[in-house]
Amino acid sequence: MKATKLKLTVIAGLLAIAVVASLRSTTATTQPSASDTAAPGVDTSREERVIGKYHDDLFAYQNEIWTLKKRQGVRIADLDPLDRKSDDLKNRLSEVQNAVREIITKFKAANEFDGLDAALLARVTDPGRRAFYQESSFKEDLEYAASNLLSHKEEISLPLDGLRKRVAWNAAPYGDGAAAFVTAAYHPPTAMFGVGLGCRIAKVRAKLIDKNGGSIGGNAATCTAISCACQNKTPCAPYECPGASTQ
């Protein structure tokens, strides 16, 4: 009898161990993993950096042109560094367009592309930025940039071409009176910042920053570049845009 009881006790113990192990295994397989419960969003940080660096360089280039326009005694040689920057910006524009295409590919792969506008506006509570973002669709901004940015390439050199003409006319041997007349009659071409290339890139950049969890209001320099690109339509920082007094 004692041997029988001992055997039963051992069997019961083994069964209990088996049940506990089974329960632990079931719990481990049914509980969601950390990656399931906190799946990271689409990582477009690299593309955001490419677009941001280009946009900052474009804005700095415009500032340099505006500074030269205000300076007396500008020579043709003074424009050579800007020529090189203009060519560099033209050559790099394809990188921006490719970055936008990669952003679209990533959002589509994550099934987020169609809901971009709703997701963006759900994050942004500032009335000024919301109004700015609602002027155009984030999805359509990306689609346009992915297909058409390169068609705006010549806008980059327009302000420089205008400045070069003014410098050449002022240097021509017409006499003081004629030179003064040319200066007064000169009207610079429409700035590249506005509704063209600069604003197209600025809108993508601004919306991408907010979509990635940042805020364009958190960096005054970034906000200024974006605001000036789109004719002061982003009220998120104090700024003074190049040429603002004459526009």
Mean pLDDT across 120-142: 91
Is 121 part of any domain?
Answer: yes
pTM value is 0.73
Say which residue, 130 or 167, is predicted with more confidence.
130
Is 34 part of any domain?
Answer: no
> Residue 105 has what pLDDT?
97
Is 75 part of any domain?
Answer: yes
Is 32 part of any domain?
Answer: no
Is 175 part of any domain?
Answer: yes
Per the structure, the count of domains in the chain is 1
Convert the pLDDT of each residue in 111-127 to its tens digit: 999 999 999 999 888 88
Domain extent for 158: 44-246
> Residue 58 has what pLDDT?
95
Highest mean pLDDT among 54-68, 91-105, 159-173, 220-234 belongs to 91-105
Is 123 part of any domain?
Answer: yes
Q: Determine the Cα–Cα distance for residues 147 and 101; give it in Å rounded to an integer.
A: 8
Is 116 part of any domain?
Answer: yes
